[in-house]
Amino acid sequence: MKSKASAPGKVILFGEHFVVYGVKAILCAIDKRITVTAEQIPEDKISIKSNIGKLEIPTNESITEIDSPLKPFCYLASKLIQKYNSKSGINITVESEIPLGVGLGSSSACCVAGAAAISQLFEETSKEKILELAIEAEKTIFQNTSGADCTVCAFGGLMEYDKKKGFSKIDTESNFHLVIVNSNIEHSTDAVVSNVKKFKDSNEEQFLNLCKKESELINKVMKNLKNKDLKELGNMMHKNQEFLETIGISNEKLRQMINVAETIAYGAKITGAGGGGCIIALTDESNLEKTISQLRGKNYDCFSVRIDHKGLDTF
Ligand code: PMV
Q: What is the pLDDT along the chain (315 residues), one digit of tens a residue?
A: 899 999 999 999 999 999 999 999 999 999 999 999 999 999 999 999 998 899 999 999 999 889 999 999 999 999 999 999 999 999 999 999 999 888 899 999 999 999 999 999 999 999 999 999 999 999 999 887 888 899 999 999 999 999 889 889 998 888 799 999 999 998 888 899 999 999 999 999 999 999 999 999 999 999 999 888 999 999 999 999 999 999 999 999 999 999 999 999 999 999 999 999 999 999 999 999 999 999 999 999 999 999 999 999 999
The pLDDT score that the predictor gives to residue 221 is 96
The pLDDT score that the predictor gives to residue 146 is 82
Domain boundaries, the chain: 2-173, 177-306
* pTM, two decimal places: 0.93
Q: Is it true that domain 2-173 has CATH number 3.30.230.10?
A: yes
CB 207 within 8 A of CB 294: no
17 lines ligand 1 (CB under 6 A): yes
- Listed residue (139, 104, 153) closest to 272, CA to CA: 104
251 lines ligand 1 (CB under 6 A): no
Output the CA 18–ligand 1 centroid distance in Å: 10
The pLDDT score that the predictor gives to residue 52 is 85
CATH of 177-306, picked from 3.30.70.890, 3.40.50.300, 3.40.50.150, 1.10.10.60, is: 3.30.70.890
The pLDDT score that the predictor gives to residue 189 is 86
- How do beta strands 89-96 and 45-50 pair? parallel
278 lines ligand 1 (CB under 6 A): no
The pLDDT score that the predictor gives to residue 138 is 94
- How do beta strands 89-96 and 25-41 pair? antiparallel
The pLDDT score that the predictor gives to residue 110 is 97
The pLDDT score that the predictor gives to residue 292 is 98
Q: What is the pLDDT of residues 122-168, one digit of tens each?
A: 999 999 999 999 999 999 998 878 888 999 999 999 999 998 898 89
| Best probe residue, ligand 1, of 11, 16, 254, 271 (max atoms within 8 Å of C-beta) | 16
The pLDDT score that the predictor gives to residue 128 is 94
For 111, residues 6+ apart whose C-beta sits below 8 A from its C-beta are 72, 76, 134, 135, 137, 138, 150, 153
Which letter, b or e, does each residue of 56-65 get, where b requires 16 or more Cβ atoms within 10 Å of its Cβ? ebebeeebee
Output the CA 287–ligand 1 centroid distance in Å: 28
Q: What is the pLDDT of residues 93-103, one digit of tens each?
A: 999 999 988 88
16 lines ligand 1 (CB under 6 A): yes
